[in-house]
Every structure is written in C-alpha cells, then in structure tokens.
Chain A
Amino acid sequence: MENVLSILFCLSLFYVAVTWRVKAYVTVLRFQGLILAVLLMIPFIYHFSIFGIILPFTLLLVKVFLIPRYINKIILDLDVKRRIEPTIQQMFFLLLVIVSMIIIFLVSNIISQKTPLDVIPFASGFSAIIVGIYIIMFRKKLIIHVCGFLILENGIFLFSSAVASEFPMMIEIGILLDVFVVVFLMGIALNKISSTFEGFEVTHLGRLKD
C-alpha cells in the first residue's frame, strides 16, 4: 500500500514540474498532505487506538486545511499574477526531474542491498526533496519558493516514514508546528514585501549584495 501512495506522490511531483498555474501548487500540496495522512493511518486500520490517531489527524488538519488555505489567502491578498514565469525552459525542467528521479531510484536500489529499507518510499521522499530544491532554484516568484519549501518538507516526512524511525509523538507534532509557524512568518514577510516592493520576484531582492 505504501508503494501505491508513493507512486501517486511522484505523479504529483511530475505535475508540479509541468504546470503553469500558481494555484496548481496549492492543490498539489493538499494532495500530498492527504497522501501523507493516509500513509500514517495505515497501521491503525487494524488496531485502532485513540492515542495513535492524533498524529495523522493533526497532520491532515495542518497540511491539507490550514497551510493551503493560508497560501491561497496570500495569493488572493497579494494579487499574485496567476502564471508562473520560470527561469529555464519548461521542458528542460521536466527532463531534469525525470533524470534526477531515475538516478535516485537507481542509487536507492543499490543502497538497499546493504541496508534494509523500503526502496520506494525512500526514493520518492528523496526525489520530493530534490524537486523542492529545483523549484526554489528555478522559479522566480517568492510564493512559489514557499511552496517549494513545503514540498521539501513533505518529502522529508515521506522519507522519515520510510526510514521507520520511531520519533516520539511530541517531536512529530513539534515538527509540524514548526513548519506551520515558518509558513506563517513567511506569509507575513511576503505581505510586507508586496507592500514595499512592486513585485515579489527574487530578482527584486538584490539590495544586500556585497
């Protein structure tokens, strides 16, 4: 079941690489949040426990409702132009993503012969991290940078579920809260940036160079 969810996760990454719309990023974030919540709920289908259901529920709440709604509000408030202007040609971006994904899958397959780990969620998580970095590097709008950062965090989450580390629940909730507050602060910063500068593209932030 984890494999299926990881495939859907990777498909959403391809979609992010191809799309021209800004709202599509928010939809992808919702979709990925949903996948992660379902992934966390799988062990609880068989033995249901109230204690264990808190984490997937909070995850669902934060990643599917709160954060995307907040980003949508920012997009609406700042009247962000709805179309992405990339810095490299769109097709090369998809090609780059495909090549990186192939390399990651091959490498994780090689690694999995030494260390026991689930290959598919591991490789999917890592490719999400890489795609998040590419989005930050190759896109101009700042709100897209924030979405790229969130995709990176989603990838880390998927990755951690593959590694099967037993983080105590407090820490997981702490992580979620941290991400939420980071996004909140970034939103406030973006608000201020839009009212001081004309646009919110990275090219405008060049005052502090040496």
Chain B
Amino acid sequence: MDIKILQGIISLIIILILAPLFAGLVNKQKAILTGRVGAPILQPYYELIKLIKKETINASSSSFISRVSPIINLTSLIIAAAILPVGFWKPLISFNGDIILFAYILGLARFFQILAAMDIGSSFEGMGASREATFALFAEPIFFFTIGSISFLSGYTSIYDIYHSIQLTNISYEVFIVICSISVFMLAVTECSRMPIDDPNTHLELTMIHEVMILDNSGIDLFLYQYSSYIKLFIYAILEISFFYPFSQQSYILGIIIFITGSLALSFTLGVVETITSRYKMKNIPQYLLFATAIGILNLLIYTFTK
C-alpha cells in the first residue's frame, strides 16, 4: 500500500481514538476550576461503552429519518476528520477545494440532526432545532471568511495546502494568524455548542440548544450522536492548533510536543472560558457571531489591500 494512504489512515484513527479524551480533558479542567474533583479523564470512554450496551428506543411518531440520521452524522464526521491534516502527514482526502467539502459535510451532519430532531414530533426538539439552525446560519460566514482569507493569501484551496503554507515569518503575518485563531475559537465554541453560546450541562427547557435535539435518543443512537459530538470538538481543536504548527520544519518530535501542549492549552482555555462566562442572551448571540465574522472580514480586507 502506498505510504501516504497508510499515513492518512493512521491520522484518521488517531483522531477517532483521541476525540473522547479531549472532551474528558475539558470536563476535568472545568471541574478543577470550580473546585471539584470531577470525573476521571477517561470518563467519556466509559460513557460510550455504557451506551452501547443499552437498548435503543425510538419515538412512535418518528419515521426512518430518526433511524438513519445518527449513522449519517457519524459518517459525515469521519469523512470530515479524514480531510483534516494531523501533523505533517497528508490527510486521506485532500484535493483542491476541499474546504467547501469540509464545511458542507459538517453542514450535512447538522442538517440531518435538525431533521431528526423535528422528526420526533415534540415541540421541545423543534425549538432546539430552530435555534440551532439560526446560529448555524450566522456561524457559516465565520468559517469562510477566516479560512478563506488565509486561502486567499496563500493561493491554495485545500486545507492541507493552506496550513502548510503558513510560515510565521514577519510580525504582521503573526498578528494575522493570532486574530484568525481567535475567530476560529469563537467558531468552535458555536459549532460544538459550548459556552457562551450553549451550556452543555443544562437541561432546563428554556436554555438548551444542542442537548435538546438528542434528548429523546437512547442506546446506539445516543452513542453515535455523542461520539460524533466528541469528534466535532476534536476537529475544531485540531483546526485551531494547526495554526501554530511549525510546518516549515519537518521535525516529528517538535510536532508531537506542539500537538500535546496545544491540546492541553486549548482545553484549558476552553475550560476557563466555559467557567468564567455565562450564557449570552439568545438575542445577543447573532451579534457575537457577527463580531467574529467582522474580524474575519477585517483580516480579509487588510490583507487583500497590502498584497
């Protein structure tokens, strides 16, 4: 087999295995910051294993969508994970223009999740679905303006090529990258339903957004949904960390060290942000997202006009 395909498969497996670990890290950080001992770091794995053993029940008013959607979710996320570069290896799926595929595969996953939520027939899930759809609408431009501005700058359209062309040479480029990473952080917070957009621990009906969509699922369906949400969080974490990779030097040791420290730092930041901020009012969230878009647009403007 070609070494590149092997490398691609290994990176995909790494992402799939390490995803729940990252979520566990974030939860542990949150617990430590609030003064509790908290669940062990490997807790997400135990939860997933527990869910496999449980029985799957579907609502009597649901159709085939509810049975199909969890699988589509996981599949789309695996495909998205396959597009992402981990370290210096070329990912499994990489071609010109795969940013669009990346964004819209994630969009497909969300689309089916929303459909499944509405399919159950309860107004609870419908409310969550409508909120999720609105915020996703505002979050989409952030991705395109941020990653798009880097792609505009470097001239490539494949995620792997874009990240590889980031060279931290002069200071304005560094500031640019830092600002982009802030923007992607805000995007990550939105897409993965973290504070200050959505509280993953709340189960009050007025305040849930993402949790409410999977409220009525159990067993294998819930396993698939939970696992896909962990993978999604990890994907965005890698997107964020890869901004700071020294792609110009091909040193594996340095890469692994940066990967580990980056994940730790990012989970710490996420934990801090989640602990400190409270959830924004629903009507202020579009403005928060527009702010992230504005940062992206500003970057685009400035760097097109200095070229």
Contact = CB atoms under 8 A, between A and B. Distances in A.
Nearest to A119: B305
Contact of A90 (B172, B176, B287, B299): B287
B290 interface: yes
Contacts of A7: 175-176, 179, 298-299, 302
Given A11-B179, A101-B298, A102-B301, A94 B306 contact: no
A134 B128 CA distance: 36
B95 interface: no
B186 to A, nearest CB: 12
Interface in A78-136: 90-91, 94-95, 97-98, 101-102, 105, 108-109, 119-120, 123
A33 B56 CA distance: 61
Interface residues of A, number: 25
B306 A14 contact: no
A14 B284 contact: no
B305 A14 contact: no
A5 to B, nearest CB: 10
Contacts, number: 60
Interface string B276-303: 0000000010111011011101110110
Dominant SS among interface residues on chain A: helix
Contacts of B298: 7, 10-11, 14, 101
Contacts of A97: 294
Contacts of A105: 301-302, 305
A5 B58 CA distance: 56
A187 to B, nearest CB: 31
A102 B298 CA distance: 8
Interface string B216-231: 0000000000000000
10 closest pairs, A vs B, by CB? Answer: A105-B301, A91-B287, A4-B175, A14-B294, A109-B305, A98-B294, A94-B290, A18-B291, A4-B172, A119-B305
Interface of B: 171-172, 175-176, 179, 284, 286-288, 290-291, 293-295, 297-299, 301-302, 305-306
27 contacts: A3-B172, A3-B302, A3-B306, A4-B175, A6-B302, A7-B298, A8-B175, A10-B298, A11-B179, A14-B291, A14-B294, A14-B298, A18-B287, A90-B284, A91-B286, A91-B290, A98-B293, A98-B297, A101-B297, A101-B298, A105-B302, A108-B305, A109-B305, A120-B302, A120-B305, A120-B306, A123-B305
